[in-house]
A and B are shown apart, each in its own frame.
Chain A
Amino acid sequence: MDNNPEKVDRVTDGEFLLDLAINATPNEKSEVQAILRLRNEFGGFFGAGQSIEVRELWARGIIADIVRYRVGDMDMVMTPFTLFNPDEEGMVNNPSIFQPQKDLIYYEQFYAEGNQRRLQGAKVDMGLNFSKGLKSADVMAFISRIRGADFFTTPTRFVGGGSVDLLSNTFNDSLGLKADLGLNLAYTWDDLTVGEANSGIRNAVTTIDFDVTILEQSKMGLHLRGEVGRSNLNVLEEDSISVYKIDDTFLEVGAALELKPQHLTLSVSYVDVGPDFFSIGAQSKRIGFDRPKSYFNRVGADNMVRMPGLFDISRDRSMYTFQLSDRLMNYDPRLSNTSPYGRATPNRQGLRFGLDWKPADERIEASVTGAVLNEIRGQGTNELKSFNLIRAMANVNFDKMIDWKNKLRLTLGYQYENTSRSGLEVEKVDLNSNLLEIGLEAELFANFELLAGGTFLTSNGRDYIPLIETFNVVKDFPDPFVSDDTEALLGAGLRYNFKKDTYVTFQYQNYSFARKTDPNNDYTLSQVFVLYTMNF
């Protein structure tokens, strides 16, 4: 730190991880798998730092050639409002230089493709085909235990539910007219029959989602998509007396137009998510901003707790969680103020739009998404906040442009967000933030790449961040959130790809944080690391 007479701290650590999958198929209809983790922390005295644990365990199969089942660890996703793991904030088009550490976080936290959530329980599903009217029906049901009881005041918590997905036949062959309708239920409840606990929650989210193909032809496609539903939250005490009950609704409906010769997809949707809409399975975030950090949790002459920044989000596994939270988690308004809890963020009304361009030659691909939203109910005032968000990304593959056999790729990402509110002077809000990402991958010679990139965040203005007590109940507003920050995360390094998903990378990264309102506590962090990854 500047003007800090204290000596700069250094931390050295490392580990060797081996996840060994043991897979068996006792018969043609059953399969079991276990993943054992062997971990050796560098610096442990020859065996003293080792640990072995079971990382994954499941069995699956098919019953009577009709019903598929899975028991044990499983990855589940339903809709963005029922069971969904929304992407973390602070990222639009992550530069490749930072991706190895992100991949490690995703692997450790079981963040699977498609925003799935890791659960432990049981799932069954089956599909039916029809000859008239309806083409197919897929039915799925699941149950999972997400928290154990302590046999005193904390009851066991389960999440369960299911979906019925109905796909129609094509109504009109020349137009490609058809409909896909889904019925969804996600239900979270506490089991009060075990132990001494006599208070618990019931959170039910029921939705209908639809995708109606208005037009599907060789040159154009037009879809009408959306989801609508309701949530109920009930808090019980003395086993059955309801002491708190709240429910609300949401709606998201829009259209997507695909211009196939131009490789363009345009979408627009209207969103209305009620202020009391509460969905544990969809609103739980990946990043817990109040979790202690692994690196330099405190900084400065005053030994103050360091605010999480781009450095922590890009590499610190302890900041992340895959657990479901029964209250709206803390968020950083500089990184995501419009939809901190994903599309299920409550108290939002307005329009979302998007434009995707992905030509077949893959020379350039780009997309722009945005939102113009308002609060539905005020916080601390009857005045309502307005949110304007625009996100853009582009990947430029120079090697395909100049027909070069080695990879040469530039990635760009940008996000601008503005939050505003009028009213009395003390009620006014005006917070602006910009996030810029630049990445470069250059294959110098066969399988040997130079990586470089940077992520930059600037933020200025003022907002009020609510202190959530339980569920989505606003208890208080701590001091106004005032920001005039600049963060910069830069990295450069080399990567050698042995083959797909097996590589070693050596990198140097430097991070700086500056706040104009408190320049004495500006600081920089830097890291040198080697990461070897092998998937086989």
Chain B
Amino acid sequence: MKYNNRFYLFPLLCLFLVLTACEHDTDQFDGPGLVDRFGEFQLLEGLTISRATVDFSAGETVIFGARFNKRLNFTLRITGMESGSVKTIQGFDNELNANNAVWSGGTTMLPLFKREMCQVELIIPDENNLTLTGMVEIVGTKSYEGSLFTDFETPLGANLFTGNFEFELTNRTGRQNDMPAAQGDWYFLFEGTDNVVPNFFVGLADISARVTGETYIPFPTTVPEDLYFNAFIYADGGPHGIAVIQFVYDLNNTGLFEDGQDQTFQLAGDYPLDFTGWRQISHPMSDLGITQAQLSKMVGIRLLLISNMNSQPSPPLKVDYGIDFITFTAGGPLEL
């Protein structure tokens, strides 16, 4: 047979095409694993806790471990036996390890953890809520970033002024430890009824910047957009109370909190007390319309208890709230 030389191009072309056309990505199979989706569950290794006691203030962490035969949803729930604080870690994996099950002392649900024993539960929701348990003791609580204004753990003395002008506040108003505080043991309770002079106002409390040991409140930054106010507020669900928080600027440069002479800033809308339990509130100071120059001379914080007479029945009901752990952070809200 006699072939034209050009014909030999075609087998060469075919060989080239075969060699270049047959490489594919086969590293990982498509979709979720069938074993994960439909396989029968097996617990290969039970719950392990890396340490029996933990000092979060020293930077220690707790690592949890477990192993399963397939990837599945899991929930780790850590509950403070004294504070009632709860930390929840959720994930989807076939193993708990340092990549997905580490606790650095923070909380998911207030209050914050105390130095206390904690119960650890590993829950597998898809396996009839199979639960494995363990214990760990906190010997040092987590140190939170930011500047602490006050946590009410020590008496404020002359740095606290309570304004009960209309004698509507109860005797319980002040530092209390009658229920779990949001942080530590003590919090500040506001309680009263607007029934003497029904004018929405129940009472106020002025906390001087000198509670920090300084004339003016020391902030981690004075850029209003970067400076965040944080506090924990407690409400019992009574819908008629409103908490107002004002920030006092030393307008006359006396270094003192002088009512009627200094300027106050407060968040529009305030804080309606229509929820139950402890709740974190945070906002950038720029929301108040405050300037950087003004932030450098904040001489105190004023707390007010308001009774919403528009919704109150007759006679009006008692209103109250608690407040704890007032802090300022830079760059974002306080991370629990």
Contacts and interface: CB of A to CB of B under 8 A. Distances in A.
For A177, A426, A476, which residue has the most chain B Cβ atoms within 10 angstroms?
Answer: A426
Contacts of B10: 179, 210, 212, 224
B1 to A, nearest CB: 7
Contacts of A171: 3-4, 6-7
Contacts of A155: none
A378 B317 CA distance: 67
Nearest to B39: A426
Contacts of A466: 30-31
Interface residues of B, number: 29
A274 B40 CA distance: 32
Contacts of A168: 6
A427 B21 contact: no
B17 interface: yes
B126 interface: no
Interface stretch (A246-254, A357-365, A389-397): A246-254
A114 interface: no
B213 interface: no
B24 A377 contact: yes
A160 to B, nearest CB: 24
Interface in A221-258: 224, 226, 228-230, 248-251, 253
A274 B24 contact: yes
A208 interface: yes
B3 A477 contact: no
A458 to B, nearest CB: 26
Given A210-B10, A466-B31, A377 B21 contact: no
A14 B64 CA distance: 69
Contacts of B29: 377-382
A382 B34 CA distance: 10
Interface string B66-109: 00000000000000000000000000000000000000000000
A90 interface: no
A377 B1 contact: no
B190 to A, nearest CB: 50
A380 B30 contact: yes
Nearest to B37: A477
Interface string B10-41: 10011001101111111001111111011110
B31 A379 contact: yes
Contacts of B7: 171, 177, 179
A168 B9 CA distance: 13
Given A224-B10, A477-B37, A480-B38, A177 B4 contact: yes
B22 A251 contact: yes
Contact of B14 (A253, A272, A427): A253
Contact of A377 (B13, B30, B35): B30
B22 A272 contact: yes
A477 B32 contact: yes
12 contacts: A172-B1, A172-B2, A177-B7, A249-B20, A274-B24, A275-B25, A377-B26, A380-B29, A380-B31, A381-B33, A426-B34, A464-B34
Interface of B: 1-4, 6-7, 10, 13-14, 17-18, 20-26, 29-35, 37-40
Given A376-B24, A377-B26, A476-B37, 4 more contacts: A377-B30, A380-B33, A381-B33, A427-B35
Interface of A: 133, 168, 171-172, 175, 177, 179, 208, 210, 212, 224, 226, 228-230, 248-251, 253, 272, 274-276, 376-382, 424, 426-427, 464, 466, 473-477, 480
